[in-house]
Amino acid sequence: MSITVIDYGSGNLKSAAKALETAANNINLTSKILVTSDPKKIKQSDKIILPGQGSFRDCYLGIKKISGLSEALNEFVLEKKKPILGICVGMQLFAKTGYESEETKGFGWIDAEVRKINNMNKKLKLPHMGWNEIELKKDCFLFSNIKNKSHVYFIHSYEFKTKQKDCVVATTNYGNSIIVSVVKGNIFGTQFHPEKSQKNGLVILENFLKWKL
Amino acid sequence: MLKNRIIPCLDVKNGRVVKGINFVDLVDAGDPVEQAKIYDQQGADELCFLDITASNENRSIILNTVKKTAEKCFMPLTVGGGVRTLEDIRNLLLAGADKVSINTAAVNNKNLVKESAEKFGSQCIVVAVDAKKIKENKWEIFTHGGRKSTGIDALKFAEKMEKMGAGEILLTSMDRDGTKRGYDLDLTKKVSNLVNIPVIASGGVGSLDHLHQGIKIGKANAVLAASIFHFGEFSIQDAKKYLDSKGIPVRI
């Protein structure tokens, strides 16, 4: 299986690639993991990972700056309907609009927007940083072998908000309930970092590798 | 519920782990990658590497250590020590660090924190505040591993760093570091209450109850310790069980 981690100058891609490699080994899957922004290679991939660190705006502009990249991603996701996993800001980019620093368009694959987490009159520190429990909202193959209330690692100040409740597979609690994982057809996103969530994270990556549509 | 984090810290010099008493008298004790793997297995919430003499020495060794660790440990990794430029930060992130801690350079170059937060995101910029008590209710920033006084007020500095875009404060009491007398709880509480970003308490842990005090009294979001874990006095699980027994939310 060929898996591509999309490289558009955002953050720690090595961890995502290494965690995928380990997850593939754990399930005896022969895989080729690429880290690239080459639209041609993306088109040939079976599955892709869209990471994201920093601001929504910087990430979206970073993708737009690379010739043919956003077109290749749209084709992969909307036309070929092949599996994508968006991590952190990578998931947030699925939304129609982000409101970090200024209003910015996202891919709009899910009818959603990205807004700053309510810090409850400064009672809560931001970023929401560290290990929090996830509440599984429905049965989903991607969370196979993950117990309800499992801990995963978060680091973000903005949250994904959608009225498409059928897409929401997991939430967490930080002042309010926050959406932390969405699935819509071939599109899978996690606000938390599976590549930083020790055993639980590797299990989720294994599930993504095993995922058949 | 968000859990309080337990962060073992490895002081690294020339690719080897050391732990100083007040930053001198270094005792060599092991390979950082092997030590990191042990902490990972024990369920540490994050790892921290501090390249303690990096302000003056060759930087490439730590990149290799970070790279090897990130290949084996799928958990958050913060790296600090000798970080002076955007290029240093970029190299550490590319090697596999998730967060980079800036100390001396945050004091000397006012714009580094701002520029790095804009470029890489606040989530990966930690400012290390090394503070020494100079009189009642007054702490001053020290740089260069605690060797150089600056005349800068620690509380004002922490607040300013938050405004500049720091995502977290790593707060070390230079009076307590290496003494095993516990965190400077007054300092920790003052900084934690002042800023709206997470604060990691550091410097002085000699017992598990010191960790408890750092969270309960100091209001820290995370507690960092080196020697009590490093020399095998306590495991990470021991620390978590103790904190849990005291009603502190931790990930077990």
What is the pLDDT tens value at each position of chain B, 252 positions in all? 999 999 999 989 888 888 644 444 444 457 889 889 989 999 999 999 999 765 555 678 899 999 999 999 999 999 999 899 999 999 999 899 999 999 989 999 989 999 999 888 999 999 999 999 999 999 999 987 778 899 999 999 999 999 999 999 999 999 999 899 999 999 999 999 999 999 999 999 999 999 999 999 999 999 999 989 988 789 999 999 999 999 999 999
DSSP secondary structure of B83-110? --SHHHHHHHHHHT-SEEEE-HHHHH-H
Question: What ipTM was predicted for this assembly?
Answer: 0.94
Residue of A nearest to B77 (CA): A196
Give dist(CA B38, CA B19) in Å, integer.
17
Looking at the complex, report in whole angstroms how far the Cα of residue A199 sits from the nearest Cα belonging to chain B.
8
Contact check, Cβ <8 Å, A53/B168: no
Residue of B nearest to A53 (CA): B121
Residue pointed to by tokens 């003494």: B179
- Give ∠ CA A198-B237-B75 in degrees, rounded to 5: 20
Q: Which residues contact A192 (CB under 8 A, 6 or more apart)?
A: A88, A132, A134, A152, A153, A154, A172, A180, A181, A201
Give dist(CA B241, CA B234) in Å, integer.
11
Q: Residue B19's pLDDT is what?
A: 60
Q: Residue B46's pLDDT is what?
A: 98
HSE of A71, CA atoms in CB hemisphere, 13 A: 7
Spell out the domain ranges in chain A. Answer: 2-210
**pLDDT averaged over 10-residue windows placed end to end, chain A, 213 residues:** 91 87 97 96 97 90 96 98 97 97 95 97 96 97 98 97 96 98 98 97 98 94
Between the alpha carbon of residue A36 and those of residues A54, A61, A119, B37, B203, the distances in Å are 19, 17, 36, 29, 42
Q: Residue B57's pLDDT is what?
A: 55
Residue of B nearest to A158 (CA): B123
Residue among A129, A133, A134, A177 with most chain B CBs within 10 A, to mutate: A129
Give dist(CA A137, CA B193) in Å, integer.
35
Q: Residue B21's pLDDT is what?
A: 44
Name which of A18, A130, A173 is nearest B45 (Cβ-Cβ). A130
Residue of B nearest to A151 (CA): B251
Give dist(CA A115, CA B17) in Å, integer.
42
Q: Residue B23's pLDDT is what?
A: 40
Report phi then psi at B206, rounded to 5: -125, -10
Which residues of chain A have a CB within 8 Å of the CB of B75? 153, 196-198
Q: Residue B24's pLDDT is what?
A: 42
Give dist(CA A33, CA A23) in Å, integer.
11
Whether B153 is catalytic is no
Contact check, Cβ <8 Å, B251/A131: yes
Q: Residue B29's pLDDT is what?
A: 52
Q: What is the set of active-site residues of A?
A: 88, 193, 195
Domains assigned to chain B:
5-245 (3.20.20.70)
Q: Residue B230's pLDDT is what?
A: 84
CB pairs under 8 A between A and B: 101
Q: Say if A175 is an interface residue toward chain B (CB within 8 Å).
A: no
Looking at the complex, report in whole angstroms how far the Cα of residue A51 sits from the nearest Cα belonging to chain B.
13
Handedness of CA A129, A130, A135, A140 (dihedral sign): positive
Looking at the complex, report in whole angstroms how far the Cα of residue B147 sits from the nearest Cα belonging to chain A.
31
Which residue type is seen at A30?
T
CATH class of A2-210: alpha beta
Tokens of B170: 């790593």
Whether B130 is catalytic is yes
Which residues of chain B have a CB within 8 Å of the CB of A132? 1-3
